[in-house]
Structure 1
Amino acid sequence: MARFKDIDGVRTGNLFRVDPTRIKEDPGFNIRIEDDDYEQRLESYTTMYLAGSEPPPLKVYLRGDEIIVVDGHVRRRAALRAIERGAQIKDVPVVQFTGNDADRVAAMLQSGQGRGWTPIELLMGYKRLTAFGWTEKQIAEQVGKTEQHVRDIMALASADTSIQKMIKNGQVSASLAIEVVRQDDHLATATLTAAVEKAKAEGKTRATAKHVTAVRGGASGRDVNRALRDLLNEIRRQVEQSGVTDEDFDDHVFHIEGRFLKTLQMSR
């Protein structure tokens, strides 16, 4: 009888079977947020193991004589949970991963796209790769996204943690938060907080662009900053042209055209 590995076009790979209790995790490596969805997925894999089914292989790498998981953290924990519940699992399939620390992060991001990553999870992953010196182009190529996508996610890196929490809790979408952060700069937190409160007052759990527009009064933080800058420049121009002395300055009347105040009035 022919052996599978002897068939033309078939190659032996790096698939091994390992006792799941020997597989370790690097604390803090996994960017997956452990929320209700995470627990449901963990329980789903646990049920598979208890039923005698076997999820896809884990990706692991060797650190000395330690076996560290790169991809498959939920599957590893599910196997251990199933063992605690009485499952007889002697070993699980694993694939050996070779690469450096940045490659491991990239591999985790790639393999997790099937289930999908939340914007905050992507932000954690992209920030790590950026810290390793990766460019936006390199990150985009590795995760199969556009450079604009990477820039959009990285825009959240400068956002206050309260904004990131709003996204994580589903109170605002990542796309809306990114837009407000770019337009309102340091006023973004106040804008989004007010928008969320307005949505709550309407009995809604998620703020939309409509709520942002309402709390802005039609003018964004960037518009307000620009209007203030223009107003200051106009005041300086009038002061310089007036030739008024310090002695008469307090009583001098300056005239400001309405166009310099329109945006500020809209932001009330």
Structure 2
Amino acid sequence: MQIMKVDPRALKENPDRMRQTKSSPQADALMLATIKAVGIVQPPVVAPESGGGNGYIIDAGHRRVRLAIAAGLDEIEILVVDAANDNGAMRSMVENSVREALNPVDQWRGIERLVALGWTEEAIAVALALPARQIRKLRLLANVLPAMLEQMALGDMPCEQHLKIIAAATEVEQGEVWKAHKPKKGDTAAWWSIANALTKKRMYAKDASFGDDLREAYGIAWVEDLFAPADQDGRYTTNVEGFLGAQHEWMTSNLPKRGALVEVNSWGQPELPKKATQVYGKPSKSDHAALYLDREGKVQTVHYRMPEASKPKGGVATDADGAIDDARDLAPKARPDVTQKGHDMIGDFRTDALHDALGRAPIDDDTLMALLVLAFAGQNVRVDSGAEGGFHAGKRFTRHAVTLFDEDGKLTADRDTLRIAARSVLIDALSCRRGMSNSGLVARLAGEAIGADAYLPNMGSEEFILCLSRQAMEASCAEAGVQLRPKVRETRASLIEHFATEHFVHPSARFAPGVDETLEWLRAGASPGDTAADADAENDGLAAEHGVDAVHDHSREDTADDETGGQDPVDDHGDKHRDFEERAAA
């Protein structure tokens, strides 16, 4: 290794140099001014020309040599080193990487050159202090269309996810998409649009229930996803049809007893048989199992329960679905007062009004606590439980719970904070929207308790009025004092015009449920095995837990039992239901 002075014009460029991307004109102008002022501070590295030549090949410093010539220098200092057996490939790679990071395209070109010279990916990773996985990712650029590589070399790089999608496509596919999305000169490429056009649905091996026999039968070949986390199975296939076919065949061969294959609706939910009720808890032996494929192609199982066949009044037989085998069943049915879309709108109206009332209406603390208990009885609530058959809710309520603790991790006693958290939990839990989020009757009972009817919007819009049957619309006209017109559309227009300045709430949208509906819900929620004695025993345990002496007087019940021959104590839940019925009748 020696330092000597030479004419920069006598040095020869290395055609295999690592950094091939041109620097910006601003950077070149700055270096040129520096060279004119103080000369070259760091001498370029050169090696003797191979093959018996007398010249020198530049290993590092092509830009410095080029700008020294532009500055008109007759001589510059150079550092002469021995020629390497790889023609200086690794030395040039390391020098450029340490001085200024190479862009990914130049890195990839250097890596490919080193691989061609016999370097392994692991050895390159050790020499460059990079993970071997990063080396494999960069080598994916070998699958990128050359025209796209030229754009990337200008500094216009796609994000990692988009690059992954582009590299996974064939060169023909990339060429067609690039032709349609090629940017104008000086503009950046719309990599999102390019990746979106090349996106293919992927089905992952971790979601497959079938084995290698079905995989081979359906021609499925797994491809390793190098961009997936190292600790996950990232294998996938774009043979979607084959993957789904293998999944279906596996489900058919592995149907459980009382099991069936079902389709999914547009929301990805299973279409259960007519009149079936989904079982969310632990299924019984008489329940059915429905197998289906979700949107990711995974096999999912839900359980459902079919209603028992019943015999209607008059002795008319019913089939397994409970349909009456009678000519009367074939008669055309009258149109319901409100269409399904109308009920969807009512569900949204109710939910928005309920949430508005929960956020603003005056609610005393006792009612607030009662509403919390009521909310968690909703059919849309899933709660993690240590008991068997517990449900999963994720972290929906966690963000409210954390507000109840101070910075020292102690539960706050601030009443305002508690009230705000309670209202927020209720807003998240209670819903009248149709579908999986519907809380059912409890949301309507809660809305009635806090006067949420006052927060319902004006439903006199054309969109909602169109959801009403003729009979329902005429009833609304009679109630509002709107005169009926000869034609239905004229009556509808008059009703809409009337409610443009009036507030209209359809009776079916009000929160208060019918007495029979509430009674049925109360009966369904009462367990037949819960007796007064059981309740007292439970209260004794709770009282003891809190250090309170529980005193019960059962002398009257014991006397009644003796007189009736030792009958079981009166069911406390039954008393409550009878009291409710008597009050409702009154």
Pick the TM interval, shorter chain: 0.5 to 0.7
SS at the partner of 1:24? Answer: coil
Q: 1:55 to 1:38 in 2, by over 3 A?
A: farther
Alignment of 1:184-223 (within 5 A): 184-186=168-170, 190=174, 193=177, 197=181, 206-208=190-192, 219-220=201-202
SS at the partner of 1:54? Answer: coil
Give the aligned partner of residue 141 of structure 1.
126
Moved more, 61-70 or 153-162: 153-162
Q: Which has the higher helix share?
A: 1
Give the aligned partner of residue 58 of structure 2.
69
Check if 1:229 corresponds to 2:238: no
Contact 1:120 1:168 in 2 (8 A): yes
Q: Residue deviations 1:15-36, cap 9 Å, x none?
A: 222221221113x32232343x
Contact 2:156 2:188 in 1 (8 A): no
Q: Tell me which amino acid in the other structure corresponds to 2:67.
A: A
Q: Decide which of 86, 97, 101 is 1:116's aligned counterpart.
A: 101
Q: Decide which of 126, 137, 143 is 1:152's aligned counterpart.
A: 137
- Cα deviation for residue 191 of structure 1 reads 11
Q: 1:218 to 1:105 in 2, by over 3 A?
A: closer
Alignment of 1:51-90 (within 5 A): 51-63=37-49, 64-83=53-72, 89-90=73-74
Give the aligned partner of residue 245 of structure 1.
none
- Cα deviation for residue 151 of structure 1 reads 1.1
Alignment of 1:251-262 (within 5 A): 262=295
Question: RMSD of aligned C-alpha atoms?
Answer: 4.1
Q: 1:257 to 1:231 in 2, by over 3 A?
A: farther
SS at the partner of 1:112? Answer: helix
Check if 1:29 corresponds to 2:42: no
Q: 1:124 to 1:56 in 2, by over 3 A?
A: same
Q: 1:55 to 1:22 in 2, by over 3 A?
A: same
Contact 2:145 2:171 in 1 (8 A): no
Partners of 2:18 and 2:32 lie apart in 1 by 21
Partners of 2:176 and 2:162 lie apart in 1 by 7
Q: Decide which of 8, 11, 33 is 1:20's aligned counterpart.
A: 8
Contact 1:171 1:207 in 2 (8 A): no
Q: 1:204 to 1:112 in 2, by over 3 A?
A: closer
Q: Which structure 1 segments of 5+ residues have no match?
A: 1-12, 84-88, 242-254
Q: Residue deviations 1:205-253, cap 9 Å, x none?
A: 5535xx6786578944986714222245579x69xx9xxxxxxxxxxxx
Q: 1:181 to 1:95 in 2, by over 3 A?
A: same
Give the aligned partner of residue 252 of structure 1.
none
Alignment of 1:173-188 (within 5 A): 173=158, 175-181=160-166, 184-186=168-170
Q: 1:103 to 1:55 in 2, by over 3 A?
A: same
Partners of 1:38 and 1:224 lie apart in 2 by 42
Q: Which protein has greater RCO, CA pairs closer than 8 Å, 6+ apart?
A: 1
- Cα deviation for residue 93 of structure 1 reads 1.7
Q: 1:191 to 1:231 in 2, by over 3 A?
A: farther
Q: Which structure 2 segments of 5+ residues have no match?
A: 204-222, 224-235, 254-260, 265-291, 298-586
Q: 1:41 to 1:101 in 2, by over 3 A?
A: farther
Contact 1:15 1:94 in 2 (8 A): yes
Partners of 2:4 and 2:11 lie apart in 1 by 12
Contact 2:48 2:83 in 1 (8 A): no
Give the aligned partner of residue 32 of structure 2.
46
Contact 1:170 1:206 in 2 (8 A): no
- Cα deviation for residue 51 of structure 1 reads 1.8
Give the aligned partner of residue 469 of structure 2.
none
SS at the partner of 1:16? Answer: strand
Identity, % of aligned pairs?
16
Contact 1:46 1:82 in 2 (8 A): yes
Partners of 2:169 and 2:200 lie apart in 1 by 16
Give the aligned partner of residue 98 of structure 1.
82
Larger Rg: 2
Contact 2:46 2:81 in 1 (8 A): yes
Contact 2:8 2:68 in 1 (8 A): yes
Contact 1:49 1:82 in 2 (8 A): yes
Q: 1:219 to 1:98 in 2, by over 3 A?
A: same
Contact 2:4 2:78 in 1 (8 A): yes
Q: Tell me which amino acid in the other structure corresponds to 2:20.
A: I
SS at the partner of 2:71? Answer: helix
Partners of 1:204 and 1:18 lie apart in 2 by 42
- Cα deviation for residue 190 of structure 1 reads 4.9
Contact 1:219 1:263 in 2 (8 A): no
Partners of 2:130 and 2:105 lie apart in 1 by 16
SS at the partner of 1:15? Answer: strand
Moved more, 149-158 or 185-194: 185-194
Contact 1:58 1:94 in 2 (8 A): yes
Q: Decide which of 131, 149, 152 is 1:164's aligned counterpart.
A: 149
